[in-house]
């Protein structure tokens, strides 16, 4: 069933009109390639974020990114915005606000090992 869905979708994508008369590449194939490049940029950004910041900061950042993705999708494709979306918005930005107002923890003071002779 999965392979049939994939092959059917690939056939439909290849049957779309060309991007331009001088560039005979199927339009949907171009969208797939563009989507792959945006996913690559996204995952590279996540890895850079994870390498430089705490897991909590990464989690908050990704939650905000996911919210913005859902909001953009609702606006772009005309999907309905429900009360659950509004509640999630309050929770996400409430969490971001609470996280940003947490007091900073001073770095631990390293104690040098004292060797006794």
**pLDDT value at residue 112:** 52
Tell me phi and psi for residue 20, to 5 degrees. -155, 150
CB 49 within 8 A of CB 61: yes
CA distances from 54 to 5, 19, 106 (A): 40, 43, 14
Sign of CA dihedral 64, 72, 45, 35: positive
Structure confidence at residue 56 as a pLDDT band (50, 70, 90): confident
- The fraction of the chain above a pLDDT of 90, given in percent, is 48
Structure confidence at residue 50 as a pLDDT band (50, 70, 90): very high
Structure confidence at residue 11 as a pLDDT band (50, 70, 90): very high
pLDDT in tens, 60-69: 889 888 888 8
Whole-prediction pTM: 0.61
At residue 45, does pLDDT exceed 80? yes
**pLDDT value at residue 28:** 93
25 three-class SS? strand
């Amino acid at each position: 069933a999965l392979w049939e869905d994939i092959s059917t979708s690939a056939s439909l994508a290849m049957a779309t009109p060309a991007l331009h008369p001088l560039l005979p590449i199927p339009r949907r194939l171009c969208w797939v390639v563009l989507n792959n490049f945006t996913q690559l940029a996204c995952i590279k950004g996540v890895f850079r974020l994870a390498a430089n910041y705490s897991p909590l900061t990464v989690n908050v950042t990704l939650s905000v990114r996911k919210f913005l993705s859902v909001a953009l999708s609702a606006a772009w494709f005309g999907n309905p915005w429900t009360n659950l979306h509004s509640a999630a918005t309050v929770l996400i930005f409430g969490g971001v606000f609470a996280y940003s107002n947490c007091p900073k923890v001073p770095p631990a003071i390293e104690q040098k090992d004292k060797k006794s002779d």
